[in-house]
Each structure stands twice: as C-alpha cells, then as structure tokens.
Chain A
C-alpha cells in the first residue's frame, strides 16, 4: 500500500476498505444488539440452587417466544403497512374485536351477533381469497416466456367465478351448520381473520378511494372497532371467559399447548407467519410492489402498477393477522374481551421501527421486525428475572426505542464525528 507513490489513491483505497468494513458492521448491527442483549441476559440471570441459569433454561426461552407471539404476528402485518409508507393504528382494536368474536363463537350456541357477522363476512372473504388463489394458480401454470400473457378465454374466467362462488357458499353452509351447537377450532381459525380482514378492506378503501391519510382512517377505525367490540359483546360485558372442555370445545386447548412438549403453539403460529411473509416480501412481486409504493407511490403508479389494489390488500392482511393474533390471545388468556390489545399497535410499531423499517416507507424487512420483537421480549424477560418493576421497564423501553432508531438511521455516527471535530 505504502510502496505506491500516489497518496490520493492510497487514501481512497484505505477509505474504501474502512467504509466497506464499517458498512458490514452497520448492516448487521441489529443482530449485534440482540446478541449483546442475550449475553447480558445470561450473565445477569439468577441461577437456581442446582446451578441452572434460569434465563438460558428451555422453559424460559420458550416462554419468551409465547409472550412475543401475539405482538409479533401483529407486528408482521404492521411491517407490510409501514413498508408502503402507511400506518395502521386500528390493529389493537381489531384484535380486541377478534377476541370477542372468537370467544362468543366458541362459547355461545345459536345465532348471536358474532355468528350473524361471522358467517357472511367469511363467505365474502372466502370468495375473494378463492379468486385470488385461483388467479395465482393460473399464473403459475402459464409458461414463463409469455410476456404479455394470452388472456385465458372468457369461459375459463366464468368457470373460475363459478367455482369460487360454489366454494364460498359451501363454506357458509358448513359454518351455518355449526351455529346451533358451538363452533370448532378450524371454523374459528377461518372465521375470525376473515371478519377482521373486512375491517382492513374498509381501512384500505377509505385510504385509497377517500384519499384520506392512513393515520386518520385507522385512528377512526381504532375508536370505531373498539366500540363495535363492546356492542357485540353486549352492554356491561367486560370479559368472555373461555373454559375449554366445559363451556367450549376441548380441542381449543391445542392452541395453547406445547408441540412435542417443547415449542408453544402460539410460537409455531408466529414462526409460520414470519416464514410466509418473509418469503412473500423477499421473493415475490408483491414484496417488490410494497417497496416500490413506499419508495415513491407516484412513480409506481406511473409505471403501471395497480397501487390501489396493493394498498387495500395490504391493510386487509394487517387486519387479518390481528384477527389471528386475537385467537391466540383467547387461547392464552382463556378469555375474549373488548379491551384486549390496548396499546398493542404502538408496541408493534416500535418493534417494526427497531427492526430498521423506515416510517417513510420503501425500506425494511420482516426479519428486522422479528429481531425488534425479540429484543422487546427478551428485554422484559431479563428485567422480570431481575425483579425490576414494570414502571422502570417502561422507561427503559422508551430509551431502547430511541437508541435503536438513532443507530438505524446512522445519525449516531454523524453525532460522534461532530463531537470529535469540536
């Protein structure tokens, strides 16, 4: 390096090397943060009389997974919304609505408010989803080379609509047949996300076609859905208890059990959601659309992308995931209640932001969000193990959010360099 007689080029080379090294460290700093937290947790953890580190014990680690699952699933949906430079404040209330509907479907016989809403909403969403899935299948079957795609004949399209309609009517009949008794686990797993997705579609339609700010629309939905949850639950009903085996089907217990005696079922759901949406955002055009729309909506629209449809679908997915999280909430806490999920939307947003997703849109990953969720989960776990009270926990959480975002935005390095210069 020094043998050469070109100081400018040397400086450039050294600068480039250092910059590359720094970039690598900065790019992976999220994982460093989580790693440091884990090390700190192991070191500070109390140890049992038998010498077992409580923090590192399998039971504790799987407990953390169980605890973060509900927020985590909501945060994945939030990631998608924030990627398109939107925001969804309504997911907490929609989750609450989901818990109420889920608990009522499980414990009440006959036609209740929950089943009146649930059966038709599920039918409608099932029709839309079936159309979507068949569309995907048709595209997959098409040869890779056809650039503009020979439009399938009208007969095929009509057949598709007919098949989808038949499927959704069939589904509705099957669901209606369960009304006189109580609903089973599979029916609930289908119905609650479908009902919640309807509210997400409403969010999306208002934002896209009403040309309203996502903040305003979802704020209104947050208030409205909470009210609706209370209305459906009935006046003065604070909680719907769900006792599996007595007032609800025993198989619902599955959703809180450990799988193979190790991993809690909510964790399995969270991990599956992560895998599915990681693949969706990373490998498909849907992911490319999300980034493009968040990066520059106007440019995406002018490039011929159907921005409106992508936005509506994304808000629907966020709400459907809130519904799924609602079911897991009921399984975990054995109750559905209208004020479940208070403030959950903010936890989800915080996890997304810590995970490096930009609130300006167009930049971010689902994996980052997973790390954000885990950082929060392990942090509260460590603090609890060390008997630190919940108020201090909140203060620390606030500090972590600011510190993480400063790191993410790279502002920290500019602050340091300014300090050094002065």
Chain B
C-alpha cells in the first residue's frame, strides 16, 4: 500500500509510452450483441474522446475497460502485454481509474479523508494516520493548483469542487488511464473550463484520458482523438483536428443533422404571461434569490443563465411553489397577482416545472409510461378515477406519438428507457395538462444529440403555439440556440438581460461572473 502511495507522489510522468490496446472487443448479453469488434488504441498523453448516442455501447465499453464486466470476444493489452481483469480492483492495479458520472464521494467526510479513501496510510498497522492523509491530499491537490481546504467537508463544496476531489483521488491511485464519464454534465461553463485545464495538464504529464461527453463544443476543444460508436460498432476514429462536428454527428446518428439556431415561425406576442417583481428567497439561512424582477412574454422562450449556484433552479422552483409560499416579492400571471403556496397551486395556475434531475424528481422510474404520463392529471380526474383506464392509455399513446418516444408500448417501464426518451416522458406528462407557462430546468441534460434536437424543435413548436417558456441551462450554446432573450443570474441577482443581437458566449460568461 505505502509503495503505491510513494510512487504516486513521485509523479507518473516516468511512463510516457503507455499504450492500452483493445483488439476485436465484443460483448453480448444472452446471445444478443451490444458491442462488436472494437479495435482501439489509447495512448498516454492523449485525450481520447468516445462519442455515441445512448445505447451505442459506450458504457459497455467503459465497463469492459475498467474491469466491471469481461468481454465476450477480443483481447486487451497494456504496452503489448495481454491483460484480463477479473474485478474493477484488477483494473485499478493496472492504473485504470474511472471517474463516474455520479459522484462517489462521502459527503460527511473531509476532502482529505475522501482523497485517501480506501488507501489510508496507517499508523502502527491499525490506525489511520490523519496527519499523513492530510499531507498526501494536500500534495496531490497542490500539484494541480487546486485551492481546496483539505479539512472542509465534501458536503459543503460546490459540485465543481467535488469533481476536483474525485480527480485528486484518481491521481493518488497512480492513474495511467483515467476514464471520465461525462464529468462536466453537472458543471457550469466556467467550472467546466477549469476542469478542461486540469484534464489537459494530466495528459501533459503522460496520463491517458478516455473522455466521454455529449457536449460537442467541449469535445472539440479538448480532444486529440475522437472515436464514435453506433449500435455497438466502432464507426470511425479520427484526429480531432481532421474532422468536424457535423461529421461526428453524422457518424453518431447515421444521418446529417444541422447544428444551428432553431428557427421560429412567430415572434413573441405583446402581453406578459408571467411577471415577477422583487422576488427574494432564502434557504437554510442563505440568500438564494435577491430582488429578482423580470417579465416573460406570451410565446417567448426566455433563457436563464448563470453559474452553478447562481439561483437558476431556485428561481424556477420558487415560481412553481416547490419551495413553499413566496417569502418576499410578487408573482403575476396574465396580469393578476397570484399566491402560489405549493406545486398544486402552481399547476392550477397553468404552470409546469420540468426539473433538472428527471430520475429523482421527474419520474417514477419503476412505473410505466402510462402511469407517469397520467400523474399530474390525477387530481383533476373525475369520479375518483373509476373507469379512467381507456383515457389513461389514450393520453399515453398520444404522448408517445407526439414526442416520438421509442418504447415497446404504454406499459414500458420508464426506468428502462434511454435518457432522451425518459426526458420526453417528463415533457409528455406535463403537456397532457396543456400548461400555459413551462419552466424548464436543464431540459437536455445527459441526453444524446438526436433527442436533444427533437426537444429543441418541440420547444420551438410550443412557443409558436403561444406557450411561454422559462428555460434554465448551464449550457451556454443551448441558451444561444433556442432562446429569444437571455436573463443572467449571479449569486441570486439578475445581472443583465441580453437581446438577440447581444447574445454571445462571452457576454453571458461576463454577466455570470459579476460577483459583488
């Protein structure tokens, strides 16, 4: 154990010629192939990005490389020597470390404790050497210039900082191949930028990076090599400098998709659907919204930008009533002041909230599509639901057809759908209520390009039909491509509104960082 740690500290740049070879790797489940004949080389010092839609076989490949499952066919080799992993631990001992999409930190432990977790230096063979733990953690954090206090509890860190702790942990394990599964999906643009720096730094030190992301701009910013999977096959692998995002998307979906600004048929109408003035809110003694005022016109898509913790989610939840009665300030719908006390009131006033985390707050994962679709309508169903079966099925079928949800039928369990189809179910359940104001929080988080495009189209259509949309997103390109206007928040304050001609990446970033 101790020898591993000391080698970690003496840096891993001593092995710049690390090569991980996959040859003819395939995997099938009960005879059905999900991955076939993948041959790839991942080299030290290189950032190799893996792309593909959900279900393309990315996660299966990652599981094979990290030792979670064994390949049905093919061989793997490190520096020419064949390897086969029985357990994830085996892979770790070969320096293959995976950073999961969901953080695996323990919130109640300090940064130092988390960094050394599972590899604690011992005192007398039995007790954890706290001083040495701190020293190790500090050392590895400093090497990349992370300014984190090692004694802070992880719970108190922002998500971006927690990612850095994960990385520090991987570094301490002497990573030679670091697998990063959508590390930026929960980060704001600025935090993602910091992470990019760190990843580049790691590569410069000779670590091989296998990077998975859906964010096209990010992929081209960072990658040396891009490989695309579709339906379990490796469609292509190219240097990032020699390909384009249109090519990559075409490889991913098998057809060409235009990445461009969504064209709208109509302009927002004159009247205000929603008017918020002086909205102020606190949570756990911390001020989350400070004197927020804005108006949302009928048929308008108003973007809400800002860093993580700027108050985007809090703003949407407060308007919807998910955070209880408004503490201070006024909300008007169609010119009339309303007092929304809880989500039921919000629904009654024609609001609908699509939350940022569909798995924990949007869907009942173990229930069927039809049960999820009917959920918000239940309180309005007459005769206590007796004989509502046909109506429920009809609603579900309508949603499946309208949103093009790829499912076996109305009784397909939602938890088994892909991310994009799950998000469509969330949208479908609210559209069944015919809301007048949609509050969308990260509507395309963690879903593939094809589904993303369909959801953007849908947002455009809904706005054209006169529905007003408040759209919060951490992805600036998303705000730029589908919003009529953008409002930027910083630390709970509105720092500015951008009209179409002023909407640029830099303008939004600048407003997002107007700290007091």
Contacts and interface: CB of A to CB of B under 8 A. Distances in A.
Contact of B347 (A11, A144, A304): A304
Given A302-B322, A362-B364, A285 B343 contact: no
A304 B348 contact: yes
A285 B384 contact: yes
Contact of A292 (B31, B342, B365, B367): B367
11 contacts: A8-B31, A8-B33, A15-B32, A285-B378, A286-B385, A288-B378, A295-B367, A298-B361, A299-B375, A362-B364, A363-B366
A134 interface: no
Contact of B364 (A139, A144, A296): A296
B385 A285 contact: yes
A-B interface, 9 closest residue pairs, ranked by CB to CB distance from nearest: A285-B385, A304-B347, A295-B364, A11-B31, A303-B376, A304-B344, A296-B364, A303-B375, A284-B384
A11 B34 CA distance: 14
Interface in A138-196: 139-140, 142-144, 146-149
Contact of A139 (B347, B348, B383, B388): B383
Interface in A120-148: 136, 139-140, 142-144, 146-148
A318 to B, nearest CB: 20
Contacts of A15: 30-32
B364 A283 contact: no
Nearest to A360: B366
Interface of B: 30-33, 320, 322, 342-344, 346-348, 353, 355, 360-367, 371, 374-376, 378-388, 429
A353 to B, nearest CB: 17
A145 to B, nearest CB: 8
A240 interface: no
Interface secondary structure of A, over-half rule = helix
A142 B361 CA distance: 33
Given A8-B33, A295-B366, A299-B364, A304 B382 contact: no
Contacts of B381: 285
Contact of B365 (A142, A296, A300, A306): A296
B362 A299 contact: yes
A305 interface: yes
B364 A301 contact: no
A148 B382 CA distance: 9
Contacts of B388: 285
Contacts of B353: 302
A296 B375 CA distance: 11
A12 interface: yes
Contact of B429 (A143, A303, A363): A303
Contacts of A139: 382-384
B25 to A, nearest CB: 18
A274 B342 CA distance: 35
B144 to A, nearest CB: 37
A378 interface: no
Contact of A283 (B344, B360, B365, B386): B386
B375 A284 contact: no
Nearest to A289: B378
Given A292-B367, A295-B364, A362-B364, A305 B379 contact: yes
Interface in A262-310: 283-289, 291-292, 295-296, 298-306
Given A292-B367, A304-B343, A362-B364, 6 more contacts: A143-B382, A146-B382, A147-B380, A287-B385, A296-B361, A302-B320
Interface of A: 8, 11-12, 15, 136, 139-140, 142-144, 146-149, 283-289, 291-292, 295-296, 298-306, 362-363
B375 A305 contact: yes
Contacts of A362: 364, 366-367
Given A304-B348, A362-B364, A144 B383 contact: yes
Residue from A139, A285, A291, A299 whose CB has the most chain B CB atoms within 10 Å:
A299
B437 to A, nearest CB: 14
Contacts of A302: 320, 322, 343, 353, 355, 361-362
Given A139-B382, A285-B381, A305-B378, A12 B366 contact: no
A285 B30 CA distance: 39
A299 B347 CA distance: 13
Contacts of B364: 291-292, 295-296, 299-300, 362
B386 A304 contact: no
Contacts of A285: 378-379, 381, 384-385, 388
A288 B385 contact: yes
Contacts of B386: 283-284
B343 A286 contact: no
A163 B360 CA distance: 44
A291 B371 contact: yes
Nearest to B362: A299
B343 A303 contact: yes
B239 to A, nearest CB: 34
A299 B32 contact: no
Contacts of B363: 296, 299
A146 B380 CA distance: 9
B432 to A, nearest CB: 11
A123 B346 CA distance: 35
A284 B385 CA distance: 5
A287 B346 CA distance: 24
A287 B30 CA distance: 37
A177 B516 CA distance: 73
B159 to A, nearest CB: 19
Contacts of B344: 304-306
B13 to A, nearest CB: 42
A186 to B, nearest CB: 27
Contact of A11 (B32, B361, B384): B32
B343 A298 contact: no
Contacts of A283: 385-387
B377 to A, nearest CB: 9
A99 B201 CA distance: 74
B379 A304 contact: yes
B192 to A, nearest CB: 27
A300 B346 CA distance: 14
Contacts of B33: 8
A283 B381 CA distance: 12
A82 to B, nearest CB: 15
A201 to B, nearest CB: 21
Contacts of A140: 383-384
Contact of B380 (A8, A148, A300, A363): A148
Contacts of A284: 384-386
A8 B346 CA distance: 51
Contacts of A304: 343-344, 346-348, 376, 379
A39 B500 CA distance: 76
Contact of B32 (A12, A144, A149, A292): A12
A292 B361 CA distance: 12
Nearest to A362: B366
B38 to A, nearest CB: 17
Contacts of B385: 283-288
Residue from A8, A143, A144, A302 whose CB has the most chain B CB atoms within 10 Å:
A302
A306 B376 CA distance: 11
Contact of B384 (A136, A301, A305): A136
B378 A299 contact: no
Given A15-B32, A295-B367, A362-B364, A300 B375 contact: yes
